[in-house]
Amino acid sequence: MNKAVAIIVAAGRGNRAGSAIAKQWCELNGRLVADWSLDVLSTHPSIGEIVLVAGDDAPDGFSPAGCRIVSGGPTRTQSVRNGLGALVTQDPNTIVLIHDAARPGLDHATLDALLTALDTHDAAAPALPVQDALKRDCGQSLDTVSREALYRVQTPQAFRLAAIRKALAGSGDDLVDDLTAIEAQGARVKLVRGSDRLHKITYPEDFEMVSRLMAPAGPQMRIGKGFDVHAFEPGDHVTLCGVHIPHVARLKGHSDADAAWHALTDAILGAAALGDIGDHFPPSDDRWKDADSGIFLAEAQKLAREAGFAIANCDVTVICEAPKVKPHREAMRLRTAQLLDLPLDAVSVKATTTEGLGFTGRREGIAAEAVVMLRGT
């Protein structure tokens, strides 16, 4: 099967865009507007030939690899005819994609949909249903126009080579789009799902809007929350965030019962959807008897990293009447930051009481909550 060919129409002046140079030669997100479509078309495996129709205002030295440049005509329709006449392929069944350079938000998914549509139809184009209310100005009054079955048609528009050549040969010289010519031939046209990214740059404000639509997505963010609680038993200190704090009792647990780091470990695992601390370090496993909870925290971070996430920041809250956490808070922050290799300002540790209520209020134990934000890497 022959590969498709693409024609990029880039010969217009675009006076309404308000720029000193034609809009297709303006910069958008670090590249020329026309370059965005060229890149997508040239990297699609089903496209074998690209012709760009340009005016005499193309930038000096503009000569993209794998693309032939031909001169445009006085109207868009005549420019398309020039592009068709410059094609190397002459197979009448070859698929031709005709695209406006002023629509830089092209993607391979749209191209795939158009190529598939021509298996059953004579022509195809991306389109979006009209969403706004439509009014016709009748002079002294307005007439509401139904939006039903109305679409905003975009490009590329896809045709068989013989069909679009014949249609344009018998058409006028200033069509609103290429579908107009082939519709007059009674062709079967398929509208595929369009995209807001394919918005045509027409006015000055369109540059900013299209720039935002085409900006790369930021890293994925995940938020996790953890909670842990341990009761007191006879002892002389508690361990919180890896710091030994003198007290009249210790926390009861299979490991070192560091409630703060246990909550933080659960928060990391939860944010990455990796289960909880009991799944990875079950209390029934003697390997974790009296274990340093830093082992659990470091392993949770490792698992999150393997899943494609890094810790952005964390916030730990210790809930107890005693011992007093504030004198040890900075040491707890520093120990946590060192273990996780985070800047100190990415680690928060604070404490509160329950005003004498509940088991922590009765000084029967300590609870801890933690919140963590993970950032996709």
State the pTM of this model. 0.64
Whether residues 175 and 239 share a domain: the answer is no
Quick check: 55 and 75 in contact, CB under 8 A? no
Length of the chain (residues): 377
Residues 207 and 61 grouped into a single domain:
yes
Q: Is residue 30 domain-shared with residue 162, that is, in the same domain?
A: yes
Looking at the structure, tell me whether residues 196 and 326 fall in a common domain.
no
- Which stretch of DSSP H or E encloses residue 165? helix 161-169
264 and 165 co-located in one domain: no
SS (H, E, C) 170-218: CCCCCCCCCHHHHHCCCCCEEEEECCHHHCCCCCHHHHHHHHHHHCCCC
Displacement of CA 46 from its chain's centroid (Å): 25
Judgement on whether residues 234 and 334 belong to the same structural domain of the protein: yes
Pair 283, 268 in one domain: yes
Structure tokens at 111: 């191209």
In the numeric block, which tokens belong to residue 367? 């609870």
Residue 134 lies in domain:
4-214
Q: Which residues contact 191 (CB under 8 A, 6 or more apart)?
A: 124, 125, 126, 127, 151, 153
Are 64 and 183 in a shared domain?
A: yes
Q: In this structure, what CATH number is given to the domain that contains residue 352?
A: 3.30.1330.50
pLDDT value at position 1?
63
Give the integer Cα–Cα distance in Å for 47 and 329: 62
For residues 194 and 238, state if they share a domain: no
Dig out the tokens for 226 from the structure.
Answer: 């953890």
- Pairwise CA distance, residues 357 & 373, whole Å: 30
Amino acid at 374: L
Cα distance between residue 133 and residue 112, in whole Å: 31
- Other beta carbons within 10 angstroms of residue 359's beta carbon come to 14
Same domain, 265 and 372: yes
Q: From 161, 179, 214, give the residue that closes a domain.
A: 214
Paired tokens of 158: 């896809």
Residue 74 sits in the same domain as residue 189: yes
Residue 34, domain CATH:
3.90.550.10
Residues 31 and 170 in one domain: yes
Per-residue pLDDT of the chain (377 residues; tens, 9 = 90+): 689 999 999 998 767 766 778 999 999 999 999 999 999 999 999 999 999 999 999 998 898 988 999 999 999 999 999 999 999 988 999 999 999 999 999 999 999 999 999 999 999 999 999 999 999 999 989 999 999 999 999 999 999 999 999 999 988 888 989 999 999 989 999 999 999 999 999 999 999 999 999 988 778 899 999 999 999 999 999 999 999 999 999 999 999 999 999 999 999 999 999 999 999 999 899 999 999 999 999 999 999 999 999 999 999 999 999 999 999 999 999 999 999 999 999 999 999 999 999 999 999 999 999 999 999 98
Q: Is 143 helix (H, G, I), strand (E, B) or coil?
A: strand
Of 214, 241, 260, which residue sits at a domain end? 214
Number of domains in the chain: 2
Asked if residues 192 and 113 have their Cβ atoms less than 8 Å apart, the reply is: yes
Of 181, 214, 247, the one marking the end of a domain is 214
